[in-house]
């Protein structure tokens, strides 16, 4: 049994969403349509140039997802405990008390500030945003500078 | 050894290196050794990168380092702080792994990650040891690319190192390589050996044999600096001798500055 929890990731005023390199941990931005395009099954980091098929979610998004998953588990456990308490009510041989429910944490609100510098990529005719330009940036789609 | 690369080829080299490095950096612990071999084979078969690493030229007792870390779960590798030493050290460690172990996970020191997960141990080792090495090589390739910008008008860039010369050319421009100094010095020394045969002086055979040894060394790229230095000393002594032929003297005088450049 697999439960999917969906949540929305905001974009900035220019229509970009933040990503984070799993190797150098630097942040950059691309458009959601580019991120979801089938042909872009792997991305190159614009700063270090290394490539990965996954792992480009930012720390904030990972933390948000973990909090949502944790909350969902805690709700299931809390509900299970309440059901157990109800089931054993009035039973002369054994009793069950649920105790203090597990906490449901409010996840931090995801915010996407409009920052970074827009860069046009001549090779793939796309645009990205990077934090700084030091001798150019690697194209996240073809890996060439 | 001489390699000529155009700007496009340098870009391709950088792209391929980053691809094979990424594969090792995010490897599963099961595929680790296969990806390590791919990584090391790529480096060994790419002269500009191999020469750069060989030029760092420091020797470490990696067998002892690996053994020490294996026997003590709190110890990590003593990676040097100097860039060139760091490059040499990590390369030698990875080479040692590839030759002595079947599994990538097996020799990794436990001190790098206290998680019991095999994958976490491999990931942490890759981030702390392999990634700095990859970054140094990337930085080297970037520097060559920056050099292209400065040399754009001349459409060429030359990198000299002890073990050979790598030339980068922009847009398939022709290279006039100064590395042909090797060909020139070999030609002169072979001529000098022939000229010595008709000379008569003390220690003639010693000078002939030393010259032949250096010629062979240059041809096979294994010439040692101490031997080149000895030959330069002997040729200096030959030049001061009285009664030697003008031809041999002239050849000796031409060889000497070329030997000094090789030595330096």
Are B26 and A135 in contact (CB < 8 Å)?
Answer: no
Tokens of B142: 């970037």
pLDDT in tens, B142-169: 888 887 765 544 455 555 454 455 566 6
- A133: confidence class by pLDDT, cuts 50, 70, 90: low
CB A117 within 8 A of CB A132: yes
A123: contact with B, CB 8 A cutoff: no
Give the nearest chain A residue to B17 (CA atoms). A50
Residue A145 to chain B, least CA–CA distance (Å) = 8
pLDDT of residue B158: 56
Nearest to B251 by CA among B179, B178, B181, B196: B196
Q: What percent of chain A has pLDDT over 90?
A: 79
B139: contact with A, CB 8 A cutoff: no
d(CA A136, CA B51): 26
Q: What are phi and psi for residue A27, nearest 5 degrees?
A: -95, 145
Q: Is the dihedral of CA A12, A124, A39, B7 positive or negative?
A: negative
pLDDT in tens, A71-102: 999 999 999 999 999 999 888 888 889 889 99
Are B138 and A52 in contact (CB < 8 Å)?
Answer: no
d(CA A33, CA A45): 18
pLDDT of residue B153: 41
d(CA B23, CA B42): 12
Query: Is it the case that residue B191 has pLDDT exceeding 90?
Result: no
A105 DSSP 8-state letter:
P
Average pLDDT rounded to a whole number, residues B160-186: 56
A6: left (phi over 0), alpha (psi -120 to 50) or beta: beta
pLDDT in tens, B18-28: 999 999 999 99
pLDDT of residue B154: 45
Across the interface, which of A44, A48, A135 has its CB nearest the CB of B138? A48
Nearest to B114 by CA among B70, B73, B171, B145: B73
ipTM computed for the complex: 0.82
Query: Is it the case that residue B199 has pLDDT exceeding 80?
Result: yes
Interface of A with B in 4-23 (CB under 8 A): 22-23
Residues of B in contact with A144 (CB under 8 A): 11, 15
Pairing of strands A43-44, A51-52: antiparallel
Are A23 and B22 in contact (CB < 8 Å)?
Answer: yes
A135: contact with B, CB 8 A cutoff: yes
Question: Three-state SS string across B29-54, please?
Answer: CCCHHHHHHHHHHHHHCCHHHHHHHH
A141: contact with B, CB 8 A cutoff: no
pLDDT of residue B3: 63
pLDDT in tens, A13-27: 999 999 999 999 999
Query: Is it the case that residue B217 has pLDDT exceeding 80?
Result: yes
Residue A69 to chain B, least CA–CA distance (Å) = 22
Query: Is it the case that residue B171 has pLDDT exceeding 60?
Result: no
Across the interface, which of A50, A55, A135 has its CB nearest the CB of B21? A50
Pairing of strands A17-20, A27-30: antiparallel
Q: Residue A81 class from Cβ within 10 Å (0-12 exposed, 13-18 middle, 19+ buried)?
A: middle
Size of interface A-B (CB pairs under 8 A): 35
Tokens of A110: 């995801």
Between the alpha carbon of residue A99 and those of residues A82, A86, A95, A96, the distances in Å are 9, 13, 12, 9
pLDDT of residue B165: 52
B128: contact with A, CB 8 A cutoff: no
Query: How many other CB atoms sit within 10 Å of the CB of residue B260?
Result: 12
Between the alpha carbon of residue B118 and those of residues A75, B21, B104, B112, B147, the distances in Å are 32, 20, 10, 12, 42
B28: contact with A, CB 8 A cutoff: no
């Amino acid at each position: 049994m697999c439960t999917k929890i969906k949540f929305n990731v905001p974009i900035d005023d220019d229509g970009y969403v933040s990503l984070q390199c799993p190797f150098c941990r630097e942040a950059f931005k691309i458009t959601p349509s580019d991120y979801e395009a089938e042909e872009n099954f792997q991305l190159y980091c614009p700063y270090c140039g290394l490539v990965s098929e996954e792992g480009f979610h930012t720390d904030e998004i990972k933390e948000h997802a973990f909090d949502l998953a944790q909350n969902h588990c805690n709700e299931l456990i809390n509900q299970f405990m309440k059901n157990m308490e109800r089931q054993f009510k009035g039973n002369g041989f054994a009793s069950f008390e649920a105790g203090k429910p597990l906490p449901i944490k409010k996840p931090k609100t995801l915010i996407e500030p409009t920052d970074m510098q827009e860069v046009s990529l001549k090779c793939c005719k796309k645009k990205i945003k990077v934090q700084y330009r030091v001798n150019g940036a690697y194209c996240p789609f073809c890996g060439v500078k | 050894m001489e390699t000529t690369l155009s700007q496009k080829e340098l870009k391709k080299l950088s792209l391929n290196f980053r691809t094979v490095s990424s594969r090792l950096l995010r490897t599963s612990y099961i595929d680790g050794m296969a990806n390590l071999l791919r990584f090391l084979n790529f480096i060994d078969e790419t002269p500009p990168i191999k020469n750069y690493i060989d030029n760092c030229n420091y020797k470490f007792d990696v067998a002892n380092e690996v053994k020490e870390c294996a026997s003590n779960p709190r110890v990590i590798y003593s990676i040097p702080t100097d860039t060139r030493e760091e490059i040499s050290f990590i390369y030698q460690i990875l080479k040692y792994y590839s030759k002595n172990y079947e599994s990538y996970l097996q020799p990794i020191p436990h001190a790098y990650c206290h998680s019991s997960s095999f994958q976490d141990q491999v990931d942490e080792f890759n981030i702390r040891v392999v990634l700095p090495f990859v970054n140094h090589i990337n930085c080297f390739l970037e520097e060559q690319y920056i050099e292209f910008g400065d040399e754009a008008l001349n459409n060429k860039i030359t990198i000299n190192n002890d073990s050979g010369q790598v030339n980068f050319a922009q847009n398939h421009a022709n290279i006039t390589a100064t590395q042909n100094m090797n060909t020139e010095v070999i030609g002169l020394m072979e001529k000098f050996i022939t000229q010595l045969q008709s000379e008569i002086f003390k220690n003639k055979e010693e000078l002939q044999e030393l010259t032949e040894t250096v010629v062979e060394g240059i041809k096979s790229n294994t010439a040692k600096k101490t031997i080149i230095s000895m030959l330069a000393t002997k040729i200096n002594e030959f030049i001061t001798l009285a009664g030697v032929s003008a031809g041999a003297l002239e050849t000796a005088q031409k060889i000497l500055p070329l030997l000094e450049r090789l030595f330096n």
